[in-house]
A and B are shown apart, each in its own frame.
Chain A
Amino acid sequence: MEKRTISFEVNDRHMYMTVPVNRTLLEMLRDDIGLTGTKEGCDEGECGACTVIMDGKAIHSCCTLAVEADGRTIITIEGLQHDDMLDPIQQAFVDAGAVQCGYCTPGMILSAKALLDVNSTPSEEDIRTAIEGNICRCTGYERIVQAISLASDYLNGK
């Protein structure tokens, strides 16, 4: 299998990796780098559990080739916490009781981050659109929507 060497940044860390071209970004993150916070839920872009942020945009890492990350910046769930301090979005998910089984949570938080990074005061509709591709089977989304709204308050110093 043809391999390529790529260079990219993941969670503020610059990396070089040599990967086969049929490797997905999800497989590289989980199996090669050990960032298992990113989950596989469907492997066909229908559940959002594998969501990561690439160059500022939420994407499905299961439907992205690892080689597509060449020269790009990736943020995974492991990149949010700084010095034991939760990111305000993570803190809001804890505070709002938005976590149940937790399998959708990393992808959900990254979709929220991609939204809040460009829109710090989203409407409920904006929030629901931002997470429309992230399936949660436990919470009914209510507390997740509340958590993202709360995160926006935290980020705005409220």
Chain B
Amino acid sequence: MQKQEYVYVGKRVERPDAIGKVTGETQYVADMNQPHQLYAALVRSPHAYADIKSIDYSEAEAMEGVAVVITGEDEHTGIGHYAAEMPTLAYKRVMYWGEPVVAIAAETLEIAKAACEKVRVEYEVKRPVLTLEDSLKGDVVFHDWSKLNTHHELYFEQDTNICQHVKVREGDTDKAFTEADYVIEGEYETSGIQHVCLEGHGAIAKFDRDGLVVWTCAQSPFFMRGQLARAFGLPQNKVRMIIPPIGGGFGNKWELRVEPVVAALAKRTKGRPVKIVFTREDEFMGAYSRGAQKIKIKSGVMKDGTIVAREVYNLQDSGAYVNGAPRLNYLSTYACCGPYKIKNVKIDTLTLITNKLPTSAYRGFGIQEVSWACECHMDDIAKTIGLDVYKFRDQNLWEDGYTTHTGEKLFSVGIRECLQKAAEGLDWEEPYEKTAPDGRLRGRGMCLTCKITGTPSGSAAIAKLNEDGTVDLLKSGTDMGQGNNSVACIFFAEAMQIDIKKINVAPVDTLYTPYEKSATGSRLTFHMGRVLIEAAESIHKQLKKRMGNHWGCPVDDIVIEHGIIKGHDKEGKPTELAINDLGKARVLIEQDPIIGVAAHNTVDIWDKPDRDTGRSSRVSVLWFWTAHAAQILVDPKTGEIEIEKFSAAHDVGQVINEDSVRGQIEGGIVQGMGHALFEELEWNDEGVLMNPNMADFKVPTAKDVGFPMNISLVEVPHPEGPYGAKGIGECCVTGVPGAIGNALFDAAGVRVTKIPMKPDQVYLAMKEQKYGRRCEGEC
């Protein structure tokens, strides 16, 4: 594809939302109120697993100012991505510590909270199932899968806690292992973590004879609308989702969370709106999380470094309910062998129910975990056989035209260039001092990531060309900080050849803005971009017709180039008009209105994977390719890791807004670093979260970073992508733990197999190390 010269695409463009955010004018859900509104508060379970014997809320209900009290008996309609399963309020039993049991709406938040304290719940406490192994053992089976009302196909195993089992079968791994020069095994773990968006969940619901209106910070307004409509027995056009700007999502705002409970309360308040805003504690007790994983990998490798076979057995914690975890299972299964050519592959990914906080999407959606496992394993293999970690990867890399172990012929594969660039960013070829003057040990590591985006999925856009030549853009991709509105303006301005300042992006509102699958999976730039370009092209077509009428010129004679509409008058005298001058020229007044509409779903290219083998000629509309590399120092006397330099190379297809894409990557590296070094949800034996606050659940501060980040933007265009673009959202975090873990392995010869690599764990691993470099001096 010839590289084009663009006006906006790939340039630094100021975000349309920046001014409102620096002045404090931007109104998030928590900042909004509706007339005559009530406030909601929740009674949460103090137990991880218990039967509810009785609930006495008579005292609460009698309090002055309390409008309505509901329990699971009133409202237990199931919600969930795959199955109508997670009750709005706990029904007959509680499945995790913090599960909402009673909801109260009152005149003030103070009254609602005080009323919550008056509720008496009697529990019969049971022993919770907290580990993946215990869940797999199945002494307690929590759900009867066959009775679930599923709306997505669920690969469950009846009479077990396995809600999803995805398999890949290719070749004969047993045979290949016997023929391999080396068979190397490893087991790797990741902890449960949380997104910690600065803005917690919040929503306001209004329920009256016109239906349900919900103001909420949602990444997936239509997906939520569908579920709410189903749960409340309403047609979809009686459920309206209004989405203000979002203060960070990272996946936590993908699925319904606060919406059903305020809707359920609002249903009983005679039209009065009900507002809820999660506190930080609410977030840790009752928002979504990222589940722990335990990943076993076994590889058969030849002396020359060819990987001939691989088996992956991955246990994933879904938490108390199914929610979106099966989706994570599916996506991670396709990424868990890495971007490597392997002929014999066997993968089993099992999603298990435990008595922990429900899990859902979190930036990278299972890929960070499997990248951690796969890429630590790659370095373990290299070390065992004595291979160079770069060359070992390079020689096995996927490339254009290669058919993967799931039967997909690849194209637009930018992984090799990413590997090269990430290595260059660390001066990989240059020798480096293995020990710093202060005695700390230096090491380097890398981590490659491949990821698919959820397919099939649909997008739509409406562009209204106003009489004065300005445009209102209607699309439902929500902006949670990633800069989607800016990207939308760039796409549309480029395609329409119009001044970007003439574009206004409408707020997302399912009543007006058209369908969008979700702002997840790094999918928006690609999917939304395509329909925006199509909408602009449709406007051009209509414009030619209007200009033809205006000039008396046949439509076929009209061309639009570089923002200029060119044609001729009745006499054949050439005439032209800049698109930016449409308003001034008043040609759009008293003409047929111009509206550009475009809609598309990727179902046309999708080949549904085979349930038993995972085979699919095209599992996803696009793959993301990433290489991360880290240089670290580890203090053998404390176990503290300091990142000296970090290098990230991303195949984004085509940069759209350079500021945004770099900002995403910088933020992703630091978020990934938090996962790698600090962050962990810590549960005690009763299933109570020990650190439900930001003092003990540690995310990086400005003092933890400041190391140089060398970012390379690789542009291997996607033939179906808008201007060749792919996406960036998730893969900026996915390789960070692996790169740091491998750098630690290089520095100290110690393989820490679990993230986060907290200093105490690193120190103890080094203290007890049986092999590798011994730390100098006293340890």
Contacts and interface: CB of A to CB of B under 8 A. Distances in A.
Contacts of B701: 132-133, 135
Interface in A81-140: 81, 86, 90-91, 93-94, 97, 99-106, 109, 124, 127-129, 131-140
Contacts of A49: 198
A42 interface: yes
A60 interface: no
Contacts of B25: 37
- Most chain B Cβ neighbours within 10 Å, of A36, A127, A128: A36
B425 to A, nearest CB: 15
A132 B702 contact: yes
B554 interface: no
Contact of B245 (A30, A38, A44, A102): A102
A18 B373 CA distance: 58
Contact of B280 (A37, A42, A80): A42
Contacts of B30: 36, 39-40
Interface string B14-55: 110111111111111011000000000000000000000000
B670 A140 contact: yes
Given A42-B694, A131-B702, A36 B18 contact: no
Nearest to B281: A43
Interface string B734-748: 000000000000000
B702 A44 contact: no
A99 B21 contact: yes
Contacts of A109: 22
A42 B694 CA distance: 7
A42 B706 CA distance: 25
Contact of A102 (B14, B26, B669): B26
Given A94-B22, A103-B198, A135-B701, A43 B17 contact: no
A104 B23 contact: no
A145 B197 CA distance: 20
A142 B709 contact: yes
A138 B14 CA distance: 17
Contacts of A134: 702
B480 A140 contact: no
Given A42-B693, A129-B703, A102 B17 contact: yes
Chain B interface extent, by class: 35 or more
Nearest to A133: B701
Contacts of B17: 99, 102
A78 interface: yes
B703 A138 contact: no
B18 A94 contact: yes
Interface string A5-32: 0000000000000000000000000100
Contacts of B705: 140-142
Interface in B174-188: none
Given A86-B22, A99-B18, A102-B17, 7 more contacts: A77-B24, A93-B18, A97-B663, A99-B22, A133-B701, A137-B671, A145-B702
24 contacts: A30-B31, A36-B27, A41-B199, A42-B693, A47-B280, A78-B24, A80-B23, A86-B19, A94-B18, A94-B19, A97-B12, A99-B21, A100-B248, A100-B667, A101-B198, A101-B199, A101-B246, A101-B249, A102-B481, A106-B22, A135-B694, A139-B667, A140-B709, A145-B706
